[in-house]
Amino acid sequence: MKTLEKISGFMGSTFAVWVILFAVLSFIFPSGFTWIAPYIVPLLGIIMFGMGLSLSKDDFKEVARRPKDVGIGVAAQFVIMPLLAFALAMLLPVSNEVAAGVILVGCCPGGTSSNVMTYLSKGDTALSVAITAVSTLLAPIVTPVLVLLFASEWMPVSAGSLFFSIVKIVLIPILLGLLVKWMFGSKAEAGVKALPLVSVIAIVAIVAAVVGVNQEKIAETGALIFAIVVLHNVLGYGVGYGLGKLFGMEAPKQRAVSIEVGMQNSGLGATLATTHFSPLAAVPSAIFSVWHNISGPILATIFRKQKEQEESEAEQISA
């Protein structure tokens, strides 16, 4: 078990490397990864089951203890990113499928990677986890409504079908994870230690499948999609940080909100796009998954250095 825990920890800490490596490999050798496409839905279900296993009573207590902070973060998540996605789809010359895909990933809840990035940035990790948990649990209702509102101009949207898909691949696995943890208690903790390994394999497989299936389209329009994804992500970080300042949040909370807003559950976006729109609509989510695992550590480093500088200046003043 210790060996598995070490491997899991290593895979979790090198997540970005594996995502980028297999995205490149699937682009060069698409036929080696297209067979994964039919398994995208169960793969995401496994990730969500793991999220359920990892949640604790303290995470829900955090929501009750700080409803205002969590409410601001969740509202920012579901307002800023959809609006930015809609604006980018309107302003830039992209196909209907890509526009719908950008909006879809913008309407998804926060990704679990944001919790790790918040911790590394010396942000408010407890707040980050609470925002991720609440936004994910609200996703079956909020995400279909937002997609219908913003994406129906480009592609037909069935909010009901999206609702049932998110319930099936997000809500039910999370609830099962919580149930297993409640039933087996400490025994379930052993499974939690393997979660980074399972999550990395699942996300890497989803990204590789989407890239492999869309290799030709990515070769044609990949640069433009990448530019949109980068803009979407970076603007999300910036506007999220600014919103934290606007509401008078302390610096650690500002960092948490910034990262929560900017980092999306791109695995969910890719799964929903593949199921309800088209394979091409899943490409923005796949590229988002690659990019935010590059931008996240960069932003975490900037925030951490900012925090260290503030602490150093405080020490000099007190001396």
194, with CB counted inside 10 A (0-12, 13-18, 19+), is middle
pTM, 2 dp: 0.83
The Cα 269–Cα 285 span in angstroms is: 6
The whole-number pLDDT of residue 192 equals: 66
Q: Which residues pair with 110 in a beta bridge?
A: 264
Residue 52 tokens read as: 């359920």
The whole-number pLDDT of residue 43 equals: 83
CA separation, residue 52 to residues 185, 210, 250, 269 (Å) = 13, 25, 29, 19
The whole-number pLDDT of residue 209 equals: 85
pLDDT in tens, the chain (319 residues): 567 667 766 766 677 778 788 888 988 898 888 888 888 788 888 877 877 777 777 777 777 888 899 999 999 999 999 999 999 999 988 888 999 999 999 999 887 778 778 877 778 888 888 888 889 889 999 999 999 999 888 888 888 888 988 888 888 888 888 888 778 766 666 666 666 677 778 878 888 888 888 788 777 777 888 899 999 999 999 999 999 999 988 888 999 999 999 888 888 888 888 888 888 888 888 888 778 878 888 888 888 888 777 767 666 666 5
The domain defined by 1-305 folds into: Na+/H+ antiporter like fold (1.20.1530)
Q: CA 66, 299, 229, 34: dihedral to nearest 10 degrees?
A: -100
CB neighbours of 64 closer than 8 A, spacing ≥ 6? none
The alpha carbon of 216 is separated from its chain's Cα centroid by a whole number of angstroms, namely 26
CA separation, residue 122 to residues 48, 116, 132, 235, 302 (Å) = 25, 10, 17, 21, 10
Q: Single out the residue of 13, 40, 84 nearest to residue 232, CA to CA.
A: 84
